[in-house]
Amino acid sequence: MTGYKIGVAGFSHETITFWPGLTTLKDFEMNAYHGEKVIEKAKGTNSCIGGFIEVCEREKVELLPVCVASGGATETVADEVYAFYVGEMRRGFDEMKGEIDGVLLSLHGAMATESRQDPETDAVREVREVVGYDIPLMVTFDLHANKDGAILKEATAVFGYQSSPHVDMRNTGIRAANAMMRTLRGEIKPTTALKKPGIVVPSVFSATTVSPAKDIIDRVHWWEGKPGVVDVSALFGFAWSDVSPLGMGMVAVTDDDPKLAQEIVADLCELAWSKRRELTGRSDAVLHGVKEGVRLAIEKTRKAEKPIVILDHADRSNDTTYVLRELMSQDAQKTAFPMLYDPEAAKKIVEAGVGEIVDLEVGATTGWRDGGKVRVKGEVLWSGHGKYMGTGPMSVNREVDLGPTGILQVGGVWLQVISRQSSLLDEDPIKQFGYTPEDFDIIVSKSKTHFRAVYEVIGEEIIIIDAPGQCPADLGVLQYRNVKEGVYPITLND
């Protein structure tokens, strides 16, 4: 037993500030755990806290959990949510004060509240007010974090996911916890740098299996192999959060070598800047309009041996109807449309039951850039409570609860309607309901990059449609007010 004790907490949200309305405490509490439950729920999962637990068990370190809460990727977070969880962290860490040797925090990095543009840095500052600056405090961030140098005044070091799809969340927790252990044992003295290249990347271009995001991550790993380097991250930012730290941020953690840290982040910024047009979708024709994209997908199915995947990347509420309407209008066949969010419609389908014909309106529940309701008529293929244990690379060992769920056959479209927000991360939404991806010629995904871990393999080709939606690749349609000067392509263009 080393005798070390480490406090742990998590607080995550990816905020679309343009989306009218607020994400409330109730929304967070649906995915929140407190005290020992944190460990019970996160153990063995692909999550940062899952990674923390793994290292601490191996090192025989005691983890003292406060809380973990996630509100998903939705509207601006209500101030009461920040006050609630950060208040809980303050109280929890205050009780541990003097007893703990370090703090591990799992944050997202793209949260915005009613009154805070950088709530994570504020939260870490509040934790520091309680535990002081004498113990190491490591923070993990999502790859889509909007962060600037202010965070490094509060955190000893920060660690971002290096993959989108986020198949490495657990590994990011392991990286942070390992650095914590090495710091506690006096093996390293972390020195850090964060530099922003001034680029805002729509998430669809942050897929790290595809260039140029892949080239940036390759460079991150190349740097990690150099002597004196502890860890390197490229935070790609989250484009639809109108906050002052918006955009990419390169992070380096070195061993007592601030100059090397500066050199690494400057190099990564230069590389990103040279690829700015590709990173913002300005250089090629990878994006298709709705009508043309659907037509192309149908045409491609004639020669394809595996399903064609349509990516409707702009949909953040999992309920926009632009692509569904077009698939119906072009009479697409053998088409899977998994995970359309509409609790009211799902309830009606479940009430009708399997084998019945239903005629109802679906989708478009937000009333904001959602495409409007679509009327569908079809036979109920499946109905009930959609709940299972995840098997895919991102959701492994995690309970997925879709609430009341119904599957309809609408012409050639297999339409799955769900009651709790979720998107297509793996084969589970199809397989757990008795079907396989191979049953279909076209599969529609509203997951931005995560689906790629599985669907790049089982799909023939991915066709990206830039439907109007809440988070379009064309950022010019949104009115940014808080973004600094010189940020490409919002306040700077070429």
Binding positions for Zn ion, rule: CB under 5 A: 142, 144
Least distance to Zn ion, CB of residue 448, Å: 8
Least distance to Zn ion, CB of residue 471, Å: 12
- CB closer to Zn ion, 178 vs 203: 203
Least distance to Zn ion, CB of residue 220, Å: 16
Element (H, E) at 370: none
Least distance to Zn ion, CB of residue 14, Å: 7
Determine the Cα–Cα distance for residues 479 and 466; give it in Å rounded to an integer.
19
The dihedral built from the CA positions of residue 81, 82, 87 and 92, taken in this order, carries a sign that is positive
Measured CA to CA in angstroms, residue 491 lies from 76, 321, 463, 484 at distances of 22, 31, 30, 7
- CB closer to Zn ion, 72 vs 472: 72
- CB closer to Zn ion, 183 vs 318: 318
> By Cβ distance, which residue is nearest to Zn ion?
144
- CB closer to Zn ion, 210 vs 229: 210
In this structure, are residues 31 and 127 in contact, taking their beta carbons and an 8 Å threshold?
A: no
- Which residues of 249-348 form beta strands (DSSP E)? 249-255, 287-288, 308-312, 335-341
In this structure, are residues 262 and 440 in contact, taking their beta carbons and an 8 Å threshold?
A: no
Measured CA to CA in angstroms, residue 265 lies from 62, 153, 225, 306, 428 at distances of 34, 17, 15, 41, 38
- CB closer to Zn ion, 71 vs 363: 71
Phi, psi of 463 (to 5 degrees): -105, 120
Q: Which residues pair with 308 in a beta bridge?
A: 442, 461
Determine the Cα–Cα distance for residues 159 and 256; give it in Å rounded to an integer.
17
- CB closer to Zn ion, 144 vs 288: 144
Residues with Cβ within 8 Å of residue 236, at least 6 apart in sequence:
143, 144, 164, 201, 203, 206, 213, 248
| Number of CB atoms found within 10 A of residue 477's CB | 10
Least distance to Zn ion, CB of residue 172, Å: 11
- CB closer to Zn ion, 144 vs 369: 144
Determine the Cα–Cα distance for residues 385 and 315; give it in Å rounded to an integer.
24
Determine the Cα–Cα distance for residues 474 and 485; give it in Å rounded to an integer.
19
What is the DSSP track for 152-165? Answer: HHH-SEEEE---SS
- CB closer to Zn ion, 201 vs 352: 201
3-state SS assignment for residue 101: coil
Element (H, E) at 214: helix 213-224
- CB closer to Zn ion, 6 vs 239: 239
Q: Which residues pair with 100 in a beta bridge?
A: none
Least distance to Zn ion, CB of residue 318, Å: 15
Least distance to Zn ion, CB of residue 421, Å: 15
Least distance to Zn ion, CB of residue 144, Å: 4
Least distance to Zn ion, CB of residue 301, Å: 30
Determine the Cα–Cα distance for residues 474 and 467; give it in Å rounded to an integer.
10
Least distance to Zn ion, CB of residue 142, Å: 4
Residues with Cβ within 8 Å of residue 421, at least 6 apart in sequence:
72, 74, 317, 318, 341
Least distance to Zn ion, CB of residue 64, Å: 27
Determine the Cα–Cα distance for residues 78 and 95; give it in Å rounded to an integer.
27
- CB closer to Zn ion, 237 vs 489: 237
- CB closer to Zn ion, 383 vs 395: 395
The dihedral built from the CA positions of residue 72, 73, 75 and 78, taken in this order, carries a sign that is positive
- CB closer to Zn ion, 142 vs 326: 142
Least distance to Zn ion, CB of residue 85, Å: 20
Least distance to Zn ion, CB of residue 384, Å: 31
- Which residues of 15-152 form beta strands (DSSP E)? 22-23, 32-34, 62-70, 76-77, 102-107, 137-141
- CB closer to Zn ion, 394 vs 483: 394
